[in-house]
Amino acid sequence: GQQLNQSPQSMFIQEGEDVSMNCTSSSIFNTWLWYKQDPGEGPVLLIALYKAGELTSNGRLTAQFGITRKDSFLNISASIPSDVGIYFCAGQGAQKLVFGQGTRLTINP
C-alpha cells in the first residue's frame, strides 16, 4: 500500500528557533495536508496544498507541495511553547488520506 516517510521523527528545539520537517512518498498525490495533534485530541488541519509547486502560509507556518507531487515540507518560524505536539503529513489520492508517522516537536523554553 501507499506509505509516507516523514522526517525527522522527533525534534528538540529552543523557543524562538525555526523548524523544518518533510514528507516523501513513492506515490503521487493530488493533495498534501499538514495536521497537528495535541495529546488526547484528534488531528487538526493546519495547511492544505492542491497544486505541484504551491507554497502556502498560515501565520508562522509555511508549507510547499513538491514539484514531483511526491513530497512536501512544513516550516514553522519563531517557535513558541504552544507549537509543541505531533505534526502529521497526509497525502490524498482517490478520496482517501494516507498519513505519515508523525514528527514530535518538543520546545525548551
Cis status, amide bond into 81, omega within 30 of 0: no
Question: Contact between 52 and other proteins (CB under 8 A)?
Answer: no
Question: Contact between 77 and other proteins (CB under 8 A)?
Answer: no
Question: Contact between 49 and other proteins (CB under 8 A)?
Answer: no
Q: Which string of DSSP letters, residue by residue, matches 84-95?
A: -EEEEEEEEETT
CB contact at 8 A, 6 and 100: yes
Cell of 31: 493533495
From candidates 13, 24, 48, 52, binder to other proteins by CB under 8 A: 48
Question: Contact between 90 and other proteins (CB under 8 A)?
Answer: yes
Spatial distance between the Cα atoms of 22 and 64, rounded to a whole number of angstroms = 10
Stretch touching other proteins by CB under 8 A, among 11-19, 39-47, 56-64, 66-74: 39-47
Chain residues that interact with other proteins, rule: CB under 8 A:
4, 6, 31, 33, 40-45, 48, 88, 90, 92, 95-97, 99-102
